[in-house]
Amino acid sequence: MAERRFLAEVAHPSIVKIFNFVEHPDQHGNPVGYIVMEYVGGTSLKQPKGSALPVAQAIAYMLEILPALGFLHSVGLTYNDLKPENIMITEEQLKLIDLGAVASINAYGNLYGTPGYQAPEISKTGPTVASDIYTVGRTLAVLTLRMPTRKGRYKDGLPSEDPVLAKYDSYHRFLRRAIDPDPSARFGSAEEMATQLVGVLREVVALDSGTPRPGMSTLFSPSRSTFGVDLLVAHTDVYVDGLAHPPSLTAPDIVTALQVPLLDPTDVGAAILQATVLSQPIQTLESLKAARLGRIDADGVDLTESVELPLMEARALLDLGDVAKANSKLDQLEDRVGTPWRLTWYRGMAALLNGDYDQATKHFTTVLDFLPGEIAPKMALAATAELAGDEKNLDFYRTVWSTDNSVISAGYGLARTLAARGERAEAVRMLDNVPPTSRHFTTARLTSAVTLLSGRTLSEVTEDDIREAARRVEALPETEPRVLQIRALVLGTALDWIKSNHSTGHHILGVPFTKRGLRQGVERCLRALARRATERAHRYALVDLANATRPTSLL
């Protein structure tokens, strides 16, 4: 009764207000009690049989309820009986009702709850934060999925085949972690759960609406740079320097561009280490060494207990390409603290640099399962899949780009993926989504022109493809350094194409779409490129090629 009376002092806008607890003897003289609480008008979240809420709507509801659960946990209580029937929708907000199952954390005795929602371990552990987290996952599942029942209760787990889970991968991963049979594998708090659920919501809304919903991560840095942005365009730099530029990604390009975990603010050395994070890895290592040796004022902090210090060392070593030393740091740390997700992230980066794509995929997948609302592991998985030639995870490029189109590497990765699948028109449309305000806009336009023509046989190229590529080049200023070489590519492709095809006769890039006109256009481009060449041998090669291309003169 004392615990019940304490509930009358609990005040939260999303929890029904308790006024009093009253006991009186029944007809047999036994004490019975009842609760005096505020009236809450509205309807519950319980859905009619066979119907479900849209995922975005259900998530929004749960994001309103999670702070109330977090509040109860902060005062040592658990709710224990979260389910749609106990969540009321009022005119102004959602409210938790029916506090009859509220109990102290780890309390034993009479345990209340509803089978099908209740955590499986509660009879052994008593009510815990983890058992409440489980009920959140179950409630979301019931609201949005076709949950099977047995003997009047919902069966444990998730349905093996459900279109909602197939459509929203991150939501599926979120639910799996929330209702993991192992309490220690679930989200550690209502706040942590809400943080990931917000990220999942952004993805769901972006997918449903077709409009990006970017947001700042509290766990990962922004992308440190870009990768793969000018791969196709750089391939045409052979016109400029005569050197081969293979249009392929490299692991170092990816690793130095990927997001990295932010400093854990709860780390024993967080305040000191924050000041040692520098832009260059060598400087970072020197600062961390000074911190280890006590040359930086630690204000009495024992940095030997820090987890972040060796993680920062590993990150700097990976940026320098020293995978062996980085792995050694990670091995020592794992012996001390196990495998927190930040360590697993750097294991993935190390495996990527070593060319062990299976291990990299395994590590990044582990991080994604743990943090399903984060973009960073999805980007890492997509890039790893591209290096490995693995189709399975390449669609993460689409997930990232549709959610946050400021992650420009994802957009270009998606375009490469689509082009490789033969979906060139879709790849070009994707590149057209790069806004004019982006510093990568010109590269996107040039890349779209190359995408229309490269990697295809002449029988696959149409006149419309050539003219569309030309239109994109014409729209760019001639002062753009790479425009000339892309003009040469377009006109050269047109010249090869017209040898076995007939054109409509209209001009293209200022020259007639005829064999003679195209030869003249290609010749002019090659001579202009020769004038820009810095190497004599390449300049002569371009002039020779121009002479060979020049139309035959009758004089």
Are the C-beta atoms of 347 and 363 separated by less than 8 Å?
yes
Percent of the chain residues past pLDDT 70, beyond the cut: 97
Asked whether the predicted pLDDT for residue 145 surpasses 70, the reply is yes
What pLDDT digit, counting tens, does each position of 236-275 carry?
999 999 998 887 899 999 999 999 999 999 999 898 888 7
Mean pLDDT lowest among 100-109, 221-230, 541-550: 100-109
Report residue 380 as tokens.
């890492």
Asked whether the predicted pLDDT for residue 296 surpasses 70, the reply is no
Decide if domain 218-232+248-402 falls under CATH 1.25.40.10: yes
- Nearest-10 Cα torsion for 326, 327, 330, 332: -110
Strand pairing partners for 95? Answer: 88
- Fold of the domain built from segment(s) 43-209: Transferase(Phosphotransferase); domain 1 (1.10.510)
Asked whether the predicted pLDDT for residue 555 surpasses 70, the reply is no
Q: How far apart are CA 447 and CA 120, in angstroms?
A: 54
pTM value is 0.92
Asked whether the predicted pLDDT for residue 6 surpasses 80, the reply is no
Q: Pick the catalytic residue from 81, 132, 230, 465.
A: 81
Tokens 């599942």 found at: 141
What pLDDT digit, counting tens, does each position of 33-42 carry?
777 778 787 8
For residue 516, CA distances in Å to 249, 470, 511, 513 come to 38, 18, 9, 8
Report residue 240 as tokens.
């400029």
Q: Which of 423, 344, 353 is nearest to 383 (CA)?
A: 353
Mean pLDDT lowest among 181-190, 283-292, 449-458, 522-531: 283-292
Q: How far apart are CA 436 and CA 291, in angstroms?
A: 45
Asked whether the predicted pLDDT for residue 5 surpasses 70, the reply is no
Q: Confirm whether 390 is a catalytic residue.
A: no
3-class DSSP state of 533? coil
Q: How far apart are CA 106 and CA 84, in angstroms?
A: 24
Overall size of the chain counted in residues: 555
Residues of the chain with CATH 1.10.510.10: 43-209
Q: How far apart are CA 447 and CA 430, in angstroms?
A: 11
Residues of the chain with CATH 1.25.40.10: 218-232+248-402
Are the C-beta atoms of 205 and 403 separated by less than 8 Å?
no
Q: How far apart are CA 22 and CA 33, in angstroms?
A: 5
What pLDDT digit, counting tens, does each position of 418-458 carry?
999 999 999 999 999 998 888 999 999 999 999 999 989 99
What pLDDT digit, counting tens, does each position of 501-529 carry?
888 878 999 999 999 999 999 999 999 99
